[in-house]
């Protein structure tokens, strides 16, 4: 029994030794190939620096507002009457054309009554003028002949002598005349005419509405000229000039317009530290409320270059290529836009990287990309 256990133990040990030896043979029989490390040289885009005068363009934006705008208010009370055109938004009117007419039949009758009273007063003094003042009688006779109750009251003849002034004033004619003029002036307020050619942009009353004095009726604008209000940094306040031409563009940059700086606010906004400038623009395609972007030519930076903002590292460094090796140099940023940065202190002839490189570092070996000449074979 003991002999059998010994034999099984020996066989087990031999099997383990054999399996270990076979495994080593198998491992040793496999050939391992270590790949040879290859040095990767990246190709970079570059450009040779040539300093020049770089224009500093200040971007700004805003919404168009009509330069000529009138808010229509009623100065008298009455019922709104329909005119030749509807009082609706989008309706256009020429300069001098009636926009709103308020029923003034009752008030007009009182004006006619006052004019008639004045006419009667002048007529009553004519016999006395013929007898006592024959030298001034002809001009007052001519005044009566030109007096038309259906037209505006004509101005009284000029009072040249003290006797004439005392006589006319003593009969109450001056008081009656200025009373009539006051009534006629108020009567004109029952009609609101267009001060310029334009369109209605807001209407708050309709036909038959009882209009009260001081009530807002609507809004009227001129569609020929607009203004764009933009906020510009105070750093460029001394560079903006009235009369300077400005290029404007739509939000999608598909359309361009020409504008001109017409006004500049003299006060800096304390909250935003900006100054408001107003740009006048004329174009039949424009509408009030349109959003436009403006590019203001502020100044020119001498001996500078302009590159993509993505090339600027640590705020004041860029990559250059020296003997196919990347290196960093210090630069001086002077102006930033959303995509570009203007740099100074970059020597002429320096080869700089013109497009960002993924994983770039100082001392990295690179190869400058060279465009192949076009095939000119015939």
What's the pLDDT score for residue 378?
A: 42
> Quick one: pLDDT at residue 27?
66
User: By the 8 A CB rule, do 194 and 93 touch?
Assistant: yes
Rounded-to-integer distance, Cα 140 and Cα 127, Å: 11
Rg, Å, the chain Cα set:
46
Superfamily of domain 57-66+224-299: Efflux pump adaptor protein, beta barrel domain (2.40.30.170)
Averages of pLDDT over each 10 residues, the chain, 378 residues: 68 73 66 55 84 82 91 93 88 93 90 93 90 88 89 89 88 92 92 93 91 94 92 72 85 85 86 86 90 80 87 87 88 82 88 86 83 52
> How far apart are alpha carbons 276 and 232 in whole angstroms?
6
d(CA 281, CA 262): 10
Per-residue confidence (pLDDT) for residue 17, from 0 to 100: 76
Q: Which pLDDT belongs to residue 114?
A: 93
Q: Residue 244 has what pLDDT? A: 82
Question: Cβ distance 277 to 264 under 8 Å?
Answer: yes
The answer to whether the beta carbons of residues 270 and 241 sit under 8 Å apart is: no
Where along the chain do its domains lie? 1-32, 46-54+301-368, 57-66+224-299, 69-97+194-221, 106-188
Instruction: Specify the pLDDT at position 245.
Output: 84
Q: Give the pLDDT confidence score for residue 270 in this predicted structure.
A: 83
pTM for this prediction: 0.64
Q: Which two tokens stand for residue 22?
A: 């076979």
CATH class of 69-97+194-221: mainly beta
d(CA 123, CA 165): 17
**Which pLDDT score is estimated for 174?**
92
How confident is the model at residue 374, as a pLDDT?
A: 52
Q: What is the CATH number of domain 46-54+301-368?
A: 2.40.420
């Amino acid at each position: 029994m003991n002999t059998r256990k010994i034999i099984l133990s020996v066989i087990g040990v031999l099997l383990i030794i054999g399996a270990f030896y076979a495994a080593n043979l198998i491992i040793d029989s496999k050939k391992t190939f270590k790949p040879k490390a290859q040095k990767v040289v990246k190709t970079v885009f570059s450009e040779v620096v040539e300093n020049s005068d770089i224009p500093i363009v200040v971007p700004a934006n805003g919404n168009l507002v009509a330069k000529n705008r009138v808010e229509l208010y009623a100065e008298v009370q009455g019922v709104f009457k329909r005119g030749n055109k509807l009082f609706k938004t989008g309706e256009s009117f020429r300069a001098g054309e009636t926009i709103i007419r308020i029923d003034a039949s009752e008030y007009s009758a009182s004006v006619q009554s006052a004019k008639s009273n004045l006419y009667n007063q002048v007529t009553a003094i004519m016999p006395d003028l013929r007898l006592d003042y024959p030298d001034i009688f002809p001009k007052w006779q001519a005044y009566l002949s030109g007096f038309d109750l259906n037209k505006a009251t004509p101005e009284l003849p000029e009072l040249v002598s003290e006797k004439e002034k005392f006589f006319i004033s003593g009969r109450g004619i001056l008081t009656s005349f200025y009373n009539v003029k006051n009534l006629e002036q108020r009567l004109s307020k029952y009609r609101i005419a267009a001060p310029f050619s334009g369109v209605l942009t807001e209407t708050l009353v309709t036909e038959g509405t009882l209009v009260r004095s001081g009530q807002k009726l609507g809004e009227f604008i001129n569609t020929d000229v607009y203004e764009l209000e933009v906020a510009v940094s105070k750093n460029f306040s001394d560079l903006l000039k009235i009369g300077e031409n400005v290029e404007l563009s739509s939000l999608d940059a598909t359309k361009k317009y020409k504008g001109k700086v017409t006004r500049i606010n003299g006060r800096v906004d304390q909250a935003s530290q900006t100054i408001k400038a107003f740009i006048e623009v004329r174009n039949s395609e424009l509408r009030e409320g349109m959003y436009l972007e403006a590019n203001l030519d502020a100044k020119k930076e001498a001996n500078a270059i302009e590159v993509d903002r993505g090339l600027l590292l640590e705020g004041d460094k860029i990559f250059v290529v020296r003997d196919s090796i990347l290196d960093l140099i210090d630069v001086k940023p002077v102006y930033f836009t959303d995509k570009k940065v203007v740099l100074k202190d970059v020597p002429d002839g320096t080869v700089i990287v013109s497009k960002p490189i993924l994983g770039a570092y100082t001392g990295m070996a690179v190869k400058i990309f060279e465009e192949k000449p076009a095939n000119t074979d015939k």
